[in-house]
């Protein structure tokens, strides 16, 4: 009996050790530098960086790994086919791309008709400026998107999302056609974002499924721009405070309605709206609850 129990414990420990690597994802880190890097670098290390995003991705592919990907981007301007119109690898991985400092890393599409970055897996972006292209960042899979301290300038659509969770923190949209376009999500969280000069709309969310559980807009500013348009399915079962707008400051709104809402139980608080044709429009079902 003693040896049988010992054998069972030993088998359990062996199985646990086999399973542990799958529980803790490993990240492969690549460094790129448009000035001092070279795409013939085999590892894109800090001392021997690659020159482009594609150089980093080629090094990742050559490594024959399924690790998560982290790309650190040195200050500089990144352009051309090795940096613009990039589709990142898919699969069960997470990808992050981080600039060395806010306003120091620029991906310039030079009026490209393409999206600068296309992702089909969980994707994080921080401290990057995207400019002069048809689109900035698009994600088209059932995954997450997290963008922080990033600017979209002179872009057709800054961000397009169809996935699970999207978070924007301290993101600026300047002179785009559409700042953010969301067609499906589970949670939507925008905080500390600025919208200036969007010709069509700042935020457009059009969700026809019942997947969404929470939408939160907190401390957003809109100036001389299109406003907010949100439509959710009337069949979605929202609770109070699932759909919130707090501290939304809007002035000089160029769209017909500053905040246009269809369906859902919304709460809007501490949100001054000036210089617009119509401040708030609500249609559909959901017992529009409170404006303070």
**In sequence order, what are the beta bridge partners of 194?**
172, 221
> CA 220, 226, 230: angle at the middle one, nearest 5?
70
Confidence of residue 4 (pLDDT cuts 50, 70, 90): very low
pLDDT surpasses 90 at 101: no
Q: Cα–Cα distance between 290 and 264 in angstroms, integer?
A: 12
- High-pLDDT (> 70) share of the chain, %: 88
Residues 6+ apart with CB under 8 A from 5: none
Residue 150's pLDDT is 97
Work out the average pLDDT over 107-114.
97
74 exposure class (CB count in 10 Å sphere: 0-12, 13-18, 19+) = buried
pLDDT surpasses 60 at 214: yes
pTM of this prediction?
0.89
Residue 68's pLDDT is 95
Mean pLDDT of the chain: 88
User: What are 229-240's pLDDT values in tens digits?
Assistant: 999 988 887 776
User: What are 42-69's pLDDT values in tens digits?
Assistant: 889 999 999 999 999 999 999 888 899 9
User: What are 249-277's pLDDT values in tens digits?
Assistant: 999 999 889 999 998 888 899 999 998 88
pLDDT surpasses 80 at 15: no
- High-pLDDT (> 90) share of the chain, %: 70
Work out the average pLDDT over 165-190.
95
Residues 6+ apart with CB under 8 A from 192: 169, 170, 171, 218, 219, 220
CB 263, CB 232: distance < 8 Å? yes
Nearest to 194 by CA among 160, 163, 224, 231: 224
SS3 184: strand
Q: Cα–Cα distance between 26 and 24 in angstroms, integer?
A: 6
Residue 43's pLDDT is 87
């Amino acid at each position: 009996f003693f040896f049988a129990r010992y054998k069972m414990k030993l088998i359990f420990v062996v199985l646990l050790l086999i399973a542990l690597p799958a529980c803790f994802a490993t990240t492969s880190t690549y460094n790129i530098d448009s000035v001092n890097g070279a795409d013939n670098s085999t590892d894109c290390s800090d001392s021997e960086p690659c020159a482009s995003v594609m150089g980093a991705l080629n090094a990742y592919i050559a490594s024959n790994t399924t690790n998560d990907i982290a790309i650190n981007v040195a200050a500089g301007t990144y352009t051309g086919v090795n940096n613009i119109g990039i589709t990142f690898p898919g699969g069960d991985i997470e990808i992050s791309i981080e600039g060395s400092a806010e306003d120091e890393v620029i991906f310039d599409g030079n009026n490209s008709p393409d999206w600068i970055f296309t992702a089909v897996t969980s994707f994080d972006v921080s401290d990057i400026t995207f400019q002069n292209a048809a689109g900035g960042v698009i994600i088209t899979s059932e995954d997450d998107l997290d963008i922080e301290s990033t600017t979209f300038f002179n872009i057709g659509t800054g961000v397009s999302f169809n996935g699970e969770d999207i978070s924007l923190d301290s993101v600026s949209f300047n002179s785009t056609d559409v700042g953010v376009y969301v067609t499906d999500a589970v949670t939507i969280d925008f905080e500390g974002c600025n919208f200036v000069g969007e010709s069509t709309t700042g935020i457009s969310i059009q969700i026809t499924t019942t997947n969404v559980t929470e939408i939160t807009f907190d401390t957003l500013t809109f100036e001389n721009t299109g406003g907010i348009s949100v439509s959710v399915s009337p069949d979605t079962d929202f609770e109070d405070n699932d759909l919130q707008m707090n501290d939304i400051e809007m002035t000089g709104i160029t769209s017909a309605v500053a905040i246009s809402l269809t369906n859902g139980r919304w709460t809007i608080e501490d949100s001054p709206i000036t210089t617009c044709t119509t401040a708030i429009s609500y249609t559909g079902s959901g017992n529009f609850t409170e404006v303070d």
